[in-house]
Amino acid sequence: MNFFLQSPHKRKRSPLPIYLAILLLTMGVLSALAEDSRENNQPGGDIAVQKLSFVRNDPQALSIARRMYGRDFTYVKAVRVWLEAPNDDPEQLFLKIGKSRNCDTECFNVALFHNEKWLEIYRRPATDQLGLSAVTPTGMRSIIEDGRVWVWNSQAYVPQPNLDGRKERDANEAELALVGKELGANIDETTATSFGPPEVSVYDVDLKVGGEKIIVVRSPYFCGQSTCPVFLVNERDQSFRMIRALEGVVGVSKTARDENGFRGVEVLSRNGVSVISPSTGAQMETIPIQQVAIAGTVE
């Protein structure tokens, strides 16, 4: 398996640009993952089939991990895993590392993959709710972190919007009329084009007071080769903001709230996941795609 590496110095200064060109080349993969995400209500149909625990260290794995991370991290735990289907190549490792004895300071979960040398392909703040899916069509397992799924896109691990509790349904006539008004388009006329009828999906959500909706329109006519329109609708069935999401993949943040108390809306983008403020439409946070680096070179 080939990886695109970035030097640790460049990684610290600018974590995203190197992957923009790669992602443009792999849009077909992302589109397939996003489509599968909606079909299964989890990215890639991924559910945790293996829970990761660091209660028992693997001695050999721990020795490997300490050689790479022991100088900078006081706390090091390591277990062997298979991120790909088991084969004759060296297996992969999952680590828990931190800068204090109890992992109270700068504590991370790290995934390592051996490809001529040990590569770090995932690093996130540590959590006990960590698991792996079955092997996906890309040949690698997805990582499930506190319910968030990280999908391998053939080059790197890509975060998916939080889909916990999100249930999809078809739009009713009133919702279709609302969308048509907002888009300034006649849905029936659009349906008559070579693109066919748009797919209009509704998610009943709780953004602030409850009873809000997220309405997504998916159609080449409205999305082109990029992002799809997403409408945020209040409890009075009034559309109050339009945002855009890659392939219309959207969710609601578990924890992030904007200045007016609205839960952040998470949308899939080329850079990873963007968390958008329903109040202002501004980007509150980006959860970036994981970068690949030589293990032990990034603090």
Residue 178 and residue 151 in one domain: no
Give 3-state DSSP helix, strand, coil % of the chain, rounded to 5: 20, 40, 40
H-assigned helices in 126-255: 173-183, 187-191, 220-223
SS3 for 66? helix
Residue 30 and residue 58 in one domain: yes
Element of type H or E holding 241: strand 239-246
Residue 12 and residue 153 in one domain: yes
Residue 131 and residue 175 in one domain: no
The reported pLDDT for the residue numbered 163 is 85
Residue 2: which pLDDT band, with cuts at 50, 70 and 90? Answer: low
Residue 177 and residue 152 in one domain: no
Residue 81 and residue 188 in one domain: no
Comparison of pLDDT for 224 and 19, the residue scoring more: 224
| CATH number for the domain that contains residue 189 | 2.40.128
Residue 234 and residue 280 in one domain: yes
Q: What is the pLDDT of residues 67-77, one digit of tens each?
A: 999 999 999 99
Residue 17 and residue 108 in one domain: yes
Alpha-carbon distances, residue 170 vs 53, 207, 229 (angstroms): 40, 20, 16
Comparison of pLDDT for 174 and 47, the residue scoring more: 174
Nearest to 61 by CA among 50, 76, 83, 72: 76
Residue 212 and residue 172 in one domain: yes
Would the pLDDT of 192 be above 80?
no
SS3 for 279? coil
Average pLDDT estimate for 184-189: 77
User: How much of the chain, in percent, has pLDDT values that exceed 70?
Assistant: 83
CA distance linking residue 75 with residue 171, whole number of Å: 51
CA distance linking residue 251 with residue 55, whole number of Å: 33
Average pLDDT estimate for 260-269: 97
178 falls within a domain: yes
3 falls within a domain: no
271 falls within a domain: yes
Structure token digits, residue 278 = 């329903």
Would the pLDDT of 24 be above 60?
no
Average pLDDT estimate for 261-278: 97
Q: Identify residue 90 by its one-letter amino acid code.
A: P
The reported pLDDT for the residue numbered 9 is 35
Give how many domains the chain has, as a whole number.
2
Residue 147 and residue 19 in one domain: yes
Nearest to 21 by CA among 155, 179, 211: 155
233 falls within a domain: yes
The reported pLDDT for the residue numbered 41 is 36
207 falls within a domain: yes
139 falls within a domain: yes
Residue 250: which pLDDT band, with cuts at 50, 70 and 90? Answer: very high
Structure token digits, residue 122 = 């995932």
Name residue 131's beta-bridge partners.
51, 144
Average pLDDT estimate for 256-276: 96
Structural domain for 247, as ranges: 168-288
The reported pLDDT for the residue numbered 11 is 37
Would the pLDDT of 36 be above 80?
no
Nearest to 217 by CA among 252, 181, 253: 181
The reported pLDDT for the residue numbered 4 is 55
276 falls within a domain: yes
SS3 for 260? coil
Average pLDDT estimate for 117-140: 95
299 falls within a domain: no
CA distance linking residue 242 with residue 252, whole number of Å: 15
CA distance linking residue 82 with residue 47, whole number of Å: 16
Would the pLDDT of 235 be above 80?
yes
Q: What is the pTM of this model?
A: 0.81
Give the range among 91-105, 157-171, 224-238 with minimum mean pLDDT. Answer: 157-171
Would the pLDDT of 186 be above 90?
no
The reported pLDDT for the residue numbered 33 is 43
Nearest to 81 by CA among 130, 44, 125, 34: 130
Residue 202 and residue 62 in one domain: no
Residue 83 and residue 194 in one domain: no
